[in-house]
Amino acid sequence: MTPAWLLPLGVVLELAALLAHLPPLSWAAALAFSVYFLLYFRRLNPYPRWLGIVTLVVLAAAVWFARPEASLWPKLASSVAYYTSFLGALGLMQLLAQRLPQLRELHKALLSGSKVVLYPRYVLAAGSIGSILNFGMMNLLCGTLTDHLKRYPLTDEQRRAGLRSVMVTTLRGFALVPLLAPTSVTIAIISREMPEQSWSTMVPYGAVAALMMIVVGWRRETTGLLALRDNIGDTSKADGMPQLLIGSLLGLGAIGLLASVTDLSASQSAMVLVPAGVISYLLWRERSPRTVVEEVTGNMVSMHNEMFIFGCAALLGGVLGAVAPLEDIAAWLAQEPKYNVLLAIGALFSTIVLAVLGLAPIVSLSLTAGLLAQLAHLGVPIMTPAVGLMCGFSLAMIFSPFGPSTLILSRYSGETPYRVAFGWNGRFVASVMPLLLLLIFFTYWQQS
């Protein structure tokens, strides 16, 4: 037996810790993940390896110079286990998606209908799938797009233009996940650090930001999607779309129901229900527990780069948050209400800039969320900086050449990650930033 089984073991232990409220199970999950990544460190991509080395250096420096309290280590272990399992658990939806024939017709359905709704429908569909599949949505839509376009006699130029239009629209849809989805890592971190800030309290602001982003990209990207539809010239009807919609709504409804009747958040409910549903379906279909275990293990191994990034980012953010004088910074920021809006603007820009430089957005998210938790403890309204952080994380996902979503699009399109991040999205980010700043100022005015 290879050590690959440590990944699903870690996820199972973390889910058991969530359900049973037993922290030692979470610590055991962190140990399982640590052993796996130590054994397979050389198999990781360059960026995760670089992030792991930086995390180790920061951790050693914190131990040597800051001398953190012993109570920090169990918290860090739980944090690492939670965020590593978060991606591993939700990523299992890829196994279900591979068995749904309706998904092969998805692009045909999305390219049909009125040109007015063409772009927003594509964006919202990508965001909806991304809320469940996470990064698996990028692989799913890009992979099915490549197969879909092979069915038609397109020129190389038409194929490249079509790939660009659909992929950039898909990426914009993925950027809506932190703003709208109860399963997003943004909501997961903010609600974990500040239980008073739930998905229901933040989604109205996220919806406004999402609307702004859709409007900004509407005109330009609609032209490219229309050109692709005209070049394809397929007017036949896609099959299975009502069933796909009903299934998606039932899944989201089950997540909401579990969150409402238990003390689990929406994100935690998704972490529990997605693996339970997928594994149950696979057992019913395959009739072989061993085959299912092998598929689940292989799926998690295929995502080990992303899982490692999330785990390292959680550890790095937790260490920096523990050794940084967050209490002193929070006390200073609490003196003046104007600092609240400045913190929101800083969270928006710093998350994007650091992501462009190679720092995973989840590190900025974890660190800023820790600061906001201190402010909330002092009685400061933190909705304004939370909105800035949420919007910054959203744009950082599509504007960083080192991000998993950008790397996936680069692989499928044949373009460099820098062209995908800056060439495809530079004008979009520059156009939407002023609108997001207006949203921050409006939130500050409303909360004050």
Token pair in block for residue 45: 């991509």
Domain ranges of the chain: 3-447
Of 389, 379, 385, give the one whose Cα is nearest residue 331: 379
Q: What is the DSSP letter of 420?
A: I
Of 155, 160, 133, give the one whose Cα is nearest residue 145: 160
pTM of the model: 0.78
Neighbours of 136 (CB within 10 A): 26
Mean pLDDT score of the chain, rounded to an integer? 84
Please measure the distance between the N-terminal and C-terminal CA atoms of the chain and give it in whole angstroms: 59
Phi, psi of 236 (to 5 degrees): -70, 160
Each residue's pLDDT tens digit, 23-66: 999 999 999 999 999 999 989 988 889 889 988 998 888 888 87
Token pair in block for residue 207: 């919806």
> Token match 């967050």: residue?
326
Each residue's pLDDT tens digit, 371-393: 888 888 887 788 888 899 999 99
The helix/strand/coil state of 331 is helix
Each residue's pLDDT tens digit, 152-192: 888 888 888 888 888 899 889 989 998 988 777 788 777 77
Each residue's pLDDT tens digit, 286-311: 888 899 999 999 989 988 888 898 88
CB 30 within 8 A of CB 10: yes
Top mean pLDDT of 199-203, 347-351, 433-437 is at: 433-437
